[in-house]
Amino acid sequence: MVNLRRIKYTYEHSHKSKHEVCQARINLEIEIDCLISQMVSVIDCLLVQISNKLGLSIPLHQISIDRVVSELYSKTKKIDLLTELNMAREHGRWYWSVIELRNRSLVEPFDVDTHNPELISLLEEYFNHVTTLVENIKGKEPLD
């Protein structure tokens, strides 16, 4: 997050050449895309850890929230383990928004000029949600 804020500051306060401003913008867009991808990857990794630790035997290429929830329900008594994540991915909730940002960035350039001016703060909030979610799940079921 610190790197993202630094690049955003450089981009917004750059009074340099057009090339340097363009480069700062590209760097900012890359950092945003990376952070979004990392948040999604953390959740994917958590799902793999849950599958492995609880012996769900889900092949890696079939790991998804729905599949892990289904297997938790049918094979264990830990059906509430992913309740918080399920709620977070409901339409309009924070994880749903992360997925929407990721999907949007896959099909169109992430234009930092036209998106929410508080995007960095929003991403920081989502990152904090991911951190809290992982801590809460690992608190219910140690996965290490």
pLDDT per position as a tens digit, 36-57: 999 999 999 999 999 999 999 9
Residue 101 has pLDDT above 60, yes or no: yes
Higher pLDDT among residues 125 and 10, named by residue: 125
Give the number of other Cβ atoms within 10 Å of residue 117's Cβ.
11
Mean pLDDT of the chain, nearest integer: 85
Q: What is the pLDDT of residues 120-136, one digit of tens each?
A: 788 889 999 999 999 99
Residue 26 has pLDDT above 60, yes or no: yes
Given pLDDT bands bounded at 50, 70 and 90, which one contains residue 12? low
Q: What is the pLDDT of residue 79?
A: 83
* Angstrom distances, CA of residue 35 to CA of 14, 40, 67, 75, 141: 23, 9, 25, 34, 26
Q: Does residue 134 contact residue 85 with C-beta atoms inside 8 Å?
A: no
Residue 94 has pLDDT above 80, yes or no: yes
Given pLDDT bands bounded at 50, 70 and 90, which one contains residue 104? confident
Q: What is the pLDDT of residue 15?
A: 63
* Locus of tokens 């994880």: 95
